[in-house]
Amino acid sequence: MSLPLAEPAIETSSTASRGWRPSHRLRRGLMLPLLLLVAWEASSHLRLVDPRFLPPLEAIAITAREEIWSGDLFLHLGASLARNLAGFAIGTLLGVAFGLLLGLSPVAGRIAGPTFHAAKQIAVLAWIPIISVWFGFAETAKVVFVAVAAFVPVALNTIEGAASAPKPLIEVCEVLTFSRWQRIRRAYLPSALPSILTGVHLGLIYAWLATVAAEYFMTVGPGIGGLIIAGRERFQMELVMLGVVILGTVGFLLNHIATLVEVRLLRWRA
């Protein structure tokens, strides 16, 4: 689960101050997917690839319509989003609290820091057997797995942000005899907010990836991962590709929403 501290390719206040807006990045970001869709459709109709393995877009659209009319698509999508948001919320809250503890307390950092930095090197999928033994294979285990995936980037970036508060600002707080809580609220948290939001943004992305992994590797049930598995077992590639398209679309939308929220919250830095 080795995760970088570097910020992802997302919109920040610095890019916004240079004239870039999320809408501009959205339009530019849609160019490559549209070109890939055109290449996909052309390859299928021109028989450059076997349509049984790469069905045309209209076949996927027909499958999507059938799944919508039956209500199965909303069932699967709702189940995935529910466990994703539940795990993301739990992982984010624990990650921020843990990160602030380690970032603000040298004693806690010396005690728990080495263990945390060693554990974050473990690939996220390696936690599935342990979580399965502790929590079983049902819904609880899937939510816990998603929470673990979200926890690490949030905690890591929160530690970095809390520990990087400017020394002059801390000295001013000491001169003004601020209490510990006042220092946290007026100095540490504002200074750490950009890094925390970066961790939350990364956590949202990792949580969605972990949701699909949990649905795929744990007990099959409602969810987009279960939809893909059902299509694979029936060799119904239209259903498999529909699941893939939904995964990419939802992931894109979650990332875009997180970017808009982050830019808005950091507007004061511009």
Which percentage of the chain shows pLDDT scores above 90? 18
Domain ranges of the chain: 55-269
Q: What is the pLDDT along the chain (270 residues), one digit of tens a residue?
A: 544 444 444 444 444 444 445 566 666 767 777 888 788 777 777 777 777 777 888 888 888 898 889 888 899 899 899 999 999 999 999 999 999 888 888 888 888 888 888 888 888 888 888 888 888 877 888 999 999 999 999 999 998 888 777 677 666 666 666 666 777 776 777 777 888 899 999 999 999 999 988 888 876 678 888 888 888 888 888 888 888 889 888 988 888 888 888 888 777 665
217/233 Cα distance (integer angstroms): 15
- Joined together, the tokens standing for residue 77 give 């999508």
- Joined together, the tokens standing for residue 240 give 């498999």
Under 8 Å between Cβ of 93 and 153: no
- CA-closest candidate to residue 29, choices 46, 11, 12: 11
Contacts of 125 (CB under 8 A, 6+ apart): 213, 217
Contacts of 57 (CB under 8 A, 6+ apart): 37, 40, 41, 44
- CA-closest candidate to residue 141, choices 151, 129, 126, 158: 129
The owner of tokens 């206040």 is 13
Q: Alpha-carbon torsion 14, 31, 226, 131, what sign?
A: negative
Q: How does pLDDT run across 194-244, given as a tens digit for each residue?
A: 888 999 999 999 999 999 888 888 766 788 888 888 888 888 888 888 888
CATH class of 55-269: mainly alpha
Q: How does pLDDT run across 147-163, given as a tens digit for each residue?
A: 999 999 999 999 888 87
What ranges in 139-188 are assigned the alpha helix state H?
139-162, 167-175, 180-183
Q: What are phi and psi of 231, to 5 degrees?
A: -65, -35
Under 8 Å between Cβ of 91 and 207: yes
**The amino acid at 95:** G
Under 8 Å between Cβ of 248 and 233: no
Long-range contacts of 211-216 (CB under 8 A, 24+ apart): 211/80, 211/83, 211/84, 211/87, 211/142, 211/146, 212/80, 212/247, 213/124, 213/125, 213/128, 213/145, 214/83, 214/128, 214/141, 214/142, 214/145, 214/146, 215/80, 215/142
